Amino acid sequence: MRMEQFRDTVNIRDLGGYQTRDGRVIKCGYFYRSGTLAHLTEQETEEFYKLKVKTIIDLRTDAECRANPDPEFEGVAISQHSGVVSTGGEEIDFSPKGMHLIGAEGKKQLKDLFGYYTDMPYHNDAFRILLNHIKEGNLPVVFHCHSGKDRTGVAAMVVLGLLGCDRETIMEDYLLSNRYCEEALKKAFAENDADLSLYPERKELLQMQHGVLPAIGESVLNGIYGKYGSMENYLIAEYDFTEEMIAAIRVKYTE
User: Could you tell me the CATH number of the domain that includes residue 150?
Assistant: 3.90.190.10
- 96 cis-preceded (ω within 30 degrees of 0): no
Predicted confidence at residue 207, as pLDDT, reads 84
Is 69 among the domain residues? yes
pLDDT of amino acid 183: 84
Instruction: Classify 227 as helix, strand or coil.
Output: helix
Is the residue at 66 inside a domain? yes
Q: pLDDT confidence of 103, banded at 50, 70, 90?
A: low
SS3 string, 79-117, reads: EECCCCCCCCHHHCCCCCCHHHCCHHHHHHHHHHHHHHH
Q: Does the residue 124 lie in any domain?
A: yes
| pTM of the complete model | 0.90
Closest to 127 in 3D by CA, of 79, 93, 183, 185: 79
- Decide if 3 is inside a domain: no
Average pLDDT over residues 216-239: 97
Q: How many domains does the chain have?
A: 1
The pLDDT value recorded for residue 92 is: 53
Q: Is residue 136 part of a domain?
A: yes
For residues 10-14, average pLDDT:
92
Q: Which domain holds residue 137?
A: 8-253
Is the residue at 13 inside a domain? yes
Q: Is 1 inside any structural domain?
A: no
Q: Percent of the chain at pLDDT above 90?
A: 63
pLDDT greater than 80 at residue 194: no
Greatest alpha-carbon pair distance for the chain in Å reads 55
What is the rounded average pLDDT of the residues 216-232?
96
Range with the lowest mean pLDDT among 27-36, 95-104, 140-149, 210-219?
95-104
pLDDT at 86: 57
Which residues are 2's β-sheet partners? 13
Per-residue pLDDT, 100: 61
pLDDT at 40: 95
Give φ, ψ of 123 to 5 degrees. 50, 40
Span 29-46, average pLDDT: 95
Task: Identify whether 133 is part of a domain.
Answer: yes
